[in-house]
A and B are shown apart, each in its own frame.
Chain A
């Protein structure tokens, strides 16, 4: 893959992206990263909620004069992060003319992705069964919480809440704690998006070979559960409840997150084997445990942790990382977002790049995770403002006359501003 020359696997393909929140938009953005042209479809009265549900003022600290939803719509840093590179159209899908525009877009495309609640696409008449009539070889991917099958089809799930019914939540938690823990962000979304991306790419290969499209039904819950598949296989063999393991590892010992100097500063350390242990003792001290083998290190993990933390808590996390890495022991400062933004490795590898957004201004965005080293991805297009490319898409791709587009706009079938209701 090469972004500068455009040698990308999905070059020449077009995606209709009817997505919202995080998982679907991220999937669409990765399809863009791999070379597809992606058209984000939103309805004026039902825009992607990521544009508006998060009040920017909560982050700017300026709660005195909160921005209206309309003011937030084009500057949301959640929305703009996960819709980079797409074109945007604002079309009222509940209107028959709007629905027809959707179907016409599909006819000009190769892939449809959506992550609305199962049922929404049927209600609007834009489900796979509706579009396949006019576009028989379409690849249509639905990403939902639980999948398109009953009995759980209609259950609502966002990427964080879906962690509970995946099994992951009850396994998470501090060592031997009775209370489980949830991952600190909407973990089901990126995992679901990556699983759906794999399914779409496999379907593209099948389509290129056979000319046949297909429907794909991906569930975020399934993708999360797959990541802890070990627990399900264990249960099927042993039927035993397991206690929570916190930051410890099934093999490595010691492993932990240790307090470093400063407020809320931490360092993660893994000792994989006896060699790592001798190297760590050489730096840290902990001579009482110098000759401890793996069994002994596991049996005395608490005491060893205390000895390590006595050393780490006097030192800066980055210094500890440097000292231990110098002797080949896996160690890393626990970075917050501000530290991540300037992390030398991220920066050196071109993980983040600036892009100019027409309303927000300069934004720092992540580049594709596959574009690294000598294959950087120049960011060319920020996330679309609501309805930003209505005219370009309708007159260009769909070949409509300008006066027809004027009429559609006058009658509210298309719009370049969101329609707001409630708070």
Chain B
């Protein structure tokens, strides 16, 4: 049988099926190497809608009464992770995958953002920051109300 695991105090190597493991083995034969820089950890993922309901201002402006930020929590990971947010258009009842009230359709992305902290250049309308356990979307003032996120957010929190 071919040895496929090499484990020392400082190195863990796994070979692909049928390939023998060794410190000088070809890169393409590896299933895992602790010397790799990227491990592909996924801390959390999900789809959320803004908990603040809309205010009917009569002119189509998408606002809410509350200035409380929209917070999406994920497990405490001890560091600031990389977060990718995709915005999905929620109007017309087109939402991902049988979300309550949804059709079978996904109407995907308006834009996608990768952030690891507050961006002072983004302006005040759409601001969000990432902590070691949450994504915080702030709300700017809009015509005496507060900004509301009219799209659903699909978030992925990566462990790097």
- A and B associate in one complex: no
Residues of A that sit less than 8 Å from B by CB: none
